[in-house]
Amino acid sequence: MKAAVMEKQQKPLDAIAAACAFLEERLEEGASLSEVAQAAGLSPWYLQRLFKKHLGISPREYLDAKRAERLRAELRQGEGVASATYGAGFGSSSRVYERAAQQLGMTPASYAKGGAGAEIAYTVVPSPFGGLLVAATAKGVCFVALGEEERMLRELGEEFPQAKRIERDDALLAPAVEDILDYLKGQTPHLDLPLDIRMTAFQRRVWQELLAIPAGETRSYREIAEALGVPQGQRAVGTACATNPVSLLIPCHRAKRTDGGLGGYRWGLPRKEALLALEKRLAAKA
Report pLDDT digits (tens) over 184-226.
Answer: 998 877 787 888 887 777 888 899 899 999 988 999 999 999 9
pLDDT grade, residue 11 (50/70/90)?
confident
Q: Is the separation of the CB atoms in 240 and 207 below 8 Å?
A: yes
Quick one: what percent of the chain has pLDDT higher than 70?
78
User: What is the rounded CA–CA span in Å between residue 133 and residue 125?
Assistant: 7
**CATH number, domain 2-111:** 1.10.10.60
* Mean pLDDT calculated for residue range 105-124: 63
CATH 1.10.10.10 boundaries in the chain: 201-285
pLDDT grade, residue 148 (50/70/90)?
very high
pLDDT grade, residue 141 (50/70/90)?
confident
85 versus 278: which is more confidently predicted?
A: 278
pLDDT value of residue 71:
59
Give pTM, 2 decimals: 0.61
pLDDT value of residue 7:
39
CATH 3.30.160.70 boundaries in the chain: 119-184
Q: Which residues are catalytic?
A: 252
Superfamily of domain 119-184: Methylated DNA-protein cysteine methyltransferase domain (3.30.160.70)
pLDDT grade, residue 34 (50/70/90)?
confident
* Mean pLDDT calculated for residue range 56-84: 62
Spell out the SS3 assignment of the chain: CHHHHHHHHCCHHHHHHHHHHHHHHCCCCCCCHHHHHHHHCCCHHHHHHHHHHHCCCCHHHHHHHHHHHHHHHHHHCCCCHHHHHHHCCCCCHHHHHHHHHHHCCCCHHHHCCCCECCEEEEEEEEEECEEEEEEECCCCEEEEEEECHHHHHHHHHHHCCCECEEEECHHHHHHHHHHHHHHHCCCCCCCCCCECCCCCHHHHHHHHHHHHCCCCCCEEHHHHHHHCCCCCCHHHHHHHHHCCCEECCECHHHEECCCCCCCCCCCCHHHHHHHHHHHHHHHHHC
* Mean pLDDT calculated for residue range 158-163: 84
Q: Which CATH code, of 1.10.1060.10, 1.10.730.10, 1.10.10.10, 2.40.128.690, is assigned to 201-285? A: 1.10.10.10
Report pLDDT digits (tens) over 243-282.
Answer: 899 989 999 999 999 888 888 888 999 999 999 999 998 8
CATH 1.10.10.60 boundaries in the chain: 2-111
Lowest-confidence pick of 13-22, 63-72, 101-110, 231-240: 101-110
